[in-house]
Structure 1
């Protein structure tokens, strides 16, 4: 795959100033190496946050979940389900629950019964099914278990055993299955656990998910693009199945794959808050949301933004800010103190959007993100304006502006009509 020449950038545009040229030079420097893990950069937060996965070595991906370290609420079922057993009202966990996210994005609580959303992650989470049961019970969602056929966990070849070793992605896995549940309570969930975070194994796991009948596949991980970036592009291209990937948590810079593949719907991130507006909610770009202009992957014909000659991420977005993040339940013993926490990152947005498409029931509409760029999709998206994920003199590449922008793409779900 060729490196897109810097001369093709519109250098007169404010966005393609020092930041973009620096990123492009960095990409050129990567031309002799395979996937290097993305370098985390600081972004403004009002709460202490820990990245679940550290930097990845060459050839490997890192998960993109970020967990609040100031919120921990212990074990067990809360809310209505607990009250039914104890006779006492109990508060719901901190962080947004399914009802909040469904209200913010005007989603129904039914639909998707014939859809299977696959989650691809590295390593085993031995408590994934049990933790999912607590999450769904707490919020009054229908049970999703192996016994009732709703939940299935397999290794990267599609077998139920042997499962891989824990790779420290337990919080990521819990976040992923919880976000699918929040967006599409009736959907089936397929968890495919790759042997490790090696890019080839994760890519093979996507193929396995499709082979086993997934209608949507979410990938909450990535590695910085560079020479050889197209090696696994075919594994993320399955017409008839909608493939999603997180755009990253390091702000504006070099894009990551698989999000930058033209067959993938790249999911950015917002900060979501309740307010007194007619919608009842407001959103701005999350400062950590990944956005970038690819120097290795050509621009799809359906993407028309002017300042990037290559593939631009992201395409669409949802809440990803750990400060406004969802509640997640995790008791994997490898993840530290077990119980309820608040987790964010574009890792939250990708599985949520996969659940939104599953709710709509039209995965074949998304062999790529082109349907979201059609004028007819505009009414079904909340256009996000305000906030930025980097410094680019206010240009759309890193600033949320009216219309398309890098951090939030075309916006967030406003019902199901765009999907």
Structure 2
């Protein structure tokens, strides 16, 4: 059991749009088509075609505080886009404690994991609070739950040397099917540097892009999202799986990328705790790429199970295999002034990535260029509070901003975009009042 000391607090900064109608963000079918994620066809042992949708696998999502409206919101999202009924299980470690920002985060994560792997079960583990200690306890619950093949973590922390003692939590427990742990690289841009747990050698770190579709809705191009978190870890030595592509001395983050720019975001339905009516939002940030890549992992696990192959452990198998795939398995992302490592391997060409990871029997590799003894202690030292990641269209999404422990949750948004959103919302309300 992780000791309960004063820990790092994390919270997403989300300001939902005021509209009650469906907004203009990308839909599940558009994203699936852009990234080659639908439809995926697998083959059963008897030679029958099987939909590659994550069936038989479980995606765990780690959030904080209880979201009483998540089942209903996920149902609205699924019906709106013609998705199968979701198979959702909630593990509530928070009791009656709620938080509006974290509720928006859990809605995004669950809805888009379901959108891209609609056959997979979703296990929502709600940590008691947003401290590092409580979130890591939730991770431990998820990794010890039978059937979990991917753990999605849309939050991050400033790096500290003490976090090395937590790396073992991002490995597959003995006797469990392989688990890949996925984490957001953050929304603070290159200036914030690498964040944890995306910087762990055992975790797949996901950065962000701006996606452009052509007139027919097909993939056209991508560029690094300016606010995507990127950097070289100060606490994790360069893993062996990265050495063929770089020589940085530490793990570079992210490993891969996905759409994250909230100006070209996706549609999410969310109801704040205590409210009776939800609303549609256009949301993105690296919080979106995290459940999206977890969905890809679930489809890979489904395909490997059909082939009679074992599941993949993230740090020792999934990550080395990804870095070993041909570059044609990924969309190459324009880096601009951000730097060539800011997108990692790139965004997925889904069919190529999935079939590549299914086809290889197994792999095992040393994680780092420097021998490190695995840490077994689970005590977390006292540290300053922080926030995780989530972005709404208009204002800038924030990853980590230090605050006083007693302060109330609030979005930390770029002034220009925030002012524009306030003006737009005020104008809409005035127009609605005038029409009555």
In the superposition, the TM-score normalised over structure 1's length comes to: 0.71
1:385 corresponding residue in structure 2: 334
Contact 1:254 1:292 (C-alpha < 8 Å) held by counterparts? yes
Aligned residues: 320
Taking the TM superposition and a 5 Å limit, the aligned residue runs for 1:321-360 are 321-333=261-273, 338-360=278-300
Q: Alpha carbons of 1:122 and 1:257: their partners in 2 closer, same or farther (altered >3 Å)? A: same
Q: Give 1:364 shift.
A: 2.9
Is 1:72 the counterpart of 2:18? The answer is: yes
SS of structure 2 residue aligned to 1:151:
strand
SS of structure 2 residue aligned to 1:409:
coil
Is 1:274 the counterpart of 2:208? The answer is: no
Q: Alpha carbons of 1:241 and 1:380: their partners in 2 closer, same or farther (altered >3 Å)? A: same
- The one of 242, 247, 250 equivalent to 2:180 is 242
Q: Alpha carbons of 1:142 and 1:373: their partners in 2 closer, same or farther (altered >3 Å)? A: same
Q: Give 1:278 shift.
A: 10
> What CA distance in whole angstroms lies between the structure 1 residues aligned with 2:108 and 2:153?
12
Worse-matched range after superposition: 199-208 or 313-322: 199-208
- The one of 227, 239, 243 equivalent to 2:161 is 227
SS of structure 1 residue aligned to 2:168:
helix
Q: Give 1:365 shift.
A: 3.2
> What CA distance in whole angstroms lies between the structure 2 residues aligned with 1:64 and 1:308?
30
> What CA distance in whole angstroms lies between the structure 2 residues aligned with 1:219 and 1:108?
24
- The one of 44, 57, 60 equivalent to 1:115 is 57
- The one of 90, 105, 112 equivalent to 1:153 is 90
- The one of 349, 354, 358 equivalent to 1:414 is 349
1:136 corresponding residue in structure 2: 78
Q: Give 1:386 shift.
A: 3.6
> What CA distance in whole angstroms lies between the structure 1 residues aligned with 2:142 and 2:211?
31
1:166 corresponding residue in structure 2: 98
SS of structure 2 residue aligned to 1:234:
helix
Q: Give 1:413 shift.
A: 1.0
Is 1:188 the counterpart of 2:118? The answer is: no
Is 1:124 the counterpart of 2:73? The answer is: no
Contact 1:65 1:172 (C-alpha < 8 Å) held by counterparts? no
Taking the TM superposition and a 5 Å limit, the aligned residue runs for 1:395-410 are 398-399=338-339, 401=340, 405-406=341-342, 408-410=343-345
2:31 corresponding residue in structure 1: 101
> What CA distance in whole angstroms lies between the structure 2 residues aligned with 1:255 and 1:280?
29
SS of structure 2 residue aligned to 1:293:
strand
1:300 corresponding residue in structure 2: 239
Q: Alpha carbons of 1:202 and 1:141: their partners in 2 closer, same or farther (altered >3 Å)? A: same
Q: Give 1:416 shift.
A: 2.9
> What CA distance in whole angstroms lies between the structure 2 residues aligned with 1:103 and 1:63?
31
Taking the TM superposition and a 5 Å limit, the aligned residue runs for 1:254-273 are 254-273=193-212
Contact 2:150 2:180 (C-alpha < 8 Å) held by counterparts? yes
- Unmatched 5+ residue regions in structure 1? 1-56, 76-91, 145-149, 157-161, 388-393
Taking the TM superposition and a 5 Å limit, the aligned residue runs for 1:200-215 are 200-213=133-146, 214-215=148-149
- The one of 292, 300, 323 equivalent to 1:373 is 323
> What CA distance in whole angstroms lies between the structure 1 residues aligned with 2:198 and 2:142?
17
Q: Give 1:98 shift.
A: 0.7
SS of structure 1 residue aligned to 2:311:
helix
1:364 corresponding residue in structure 2: 311
SS of structure 2 residue aligned to 1:250:
coil
1:251 corresponding residue in structure 2: 189
Q: What do the CA deviations read for 1:248-296 (whole angstroms, capped 9, x no partner)? A: 0001133111111000000001111212599533211111111011111
> What CA distance in whole angstroms lies between the structure 2 residues aligned with 1:335 and 1:367?
38
Aligned Cα RMSD in Å? 2.4
Q: Give 1:61 shift.
A: 4.2
